[in-house]
Amino acid sequence: MKEEPRSLRDLFGSEYRYSLLGAFALLVAAYVAEHFANIYAFDYMARPTSNHVGDLFLDNLPIVDLNFIIIEGAFFSIVLGTLYVLSKPRSVLFTLKALSIFIIIRALFISLTHVGFYPIHLDPGVGFFADLYSYLNFQLGFFFSGHTGLPFLIALIFWGNRQARLVFISLSAVFGAAVLLAHIHYSIDVLAAPFMAYGIFTIAKYLFPRDYALIATAPPVVEDAS
């Protein structure tokens, strides 16, 4: 019977080494898929046939400059989320694999149907984070919203921890509102994201039940009642 990982070092031991290598390989494959999906989306976006569509929310919402949330806030949240996952060694394997499935499925979806930007929308601007944001082509992936879906996926993974659940759901809601007010996502991209995240979470649980069991059987978090 496997001993459950109590530290990150345990994940590199013989018991979990191959699972960890498989998780990294899947993550690399996911980013390769995203890279080519973004290149294809960028090429298609330049075509004259790529037009914007009407949107009930965007047609009635004022445009608000929320780039500091969409760009800097997103990168800051990624760093904090990564540190949080690393602080929970039992969750690393499943989280890496679920994240990879999320990226692969999103890459597939943004390659299928292409619409143009809403006529009035915010550009990323200039600066280190804005340039990195543009380099990664986050601006081109419409359906479904990664800003909204990714925090919701992490909330599902750590659903048993009430505080973590509330933080990540709140981030999902804040990012969803921000990308709508900045007019860089259509409303369907944002509203569909939690459902897509739940579907991806379910697929990951089916594909990697042993990794998820490490999280599901973790000791409950004792919360301060004061």
pLDDT tens, residue by residue, 78-136: 999 999 999 999 999 999 999 999 999 999 998 887 777 778 777 776 666 766 676 66
Determine how many CB atoms are found less than 10 A away from the CB of residue 58: 21
Higher-confidence residue: 2 or 33? 33
Higher pLDDT, 42 or 151: 151
Q: Over the stretch 192-226, which tens digit does the pLDDT of each residue have?
A: 999 999 999 999 999 999 999 988 776 665 555 44
Q: Which amino acid is at 145?
A: S
| Distance from chain centroid for Cα 122 | 21
Whole-angstrom CA distances from 183 to 99, 108, 144 are 26, 23, 14
Among the ranges given (29-43, 77-91, 99-113, 153-167), the one the predictor scored with the smallest mean pLDDT: 29-43
pTM of the model: 0.89
Cα angle 205, 210, 215; round to 5? 75
Residue with tokens 């299928």: 112
Domain boundaries, the chain: 8-216
211 or 37, which is more confident: 211
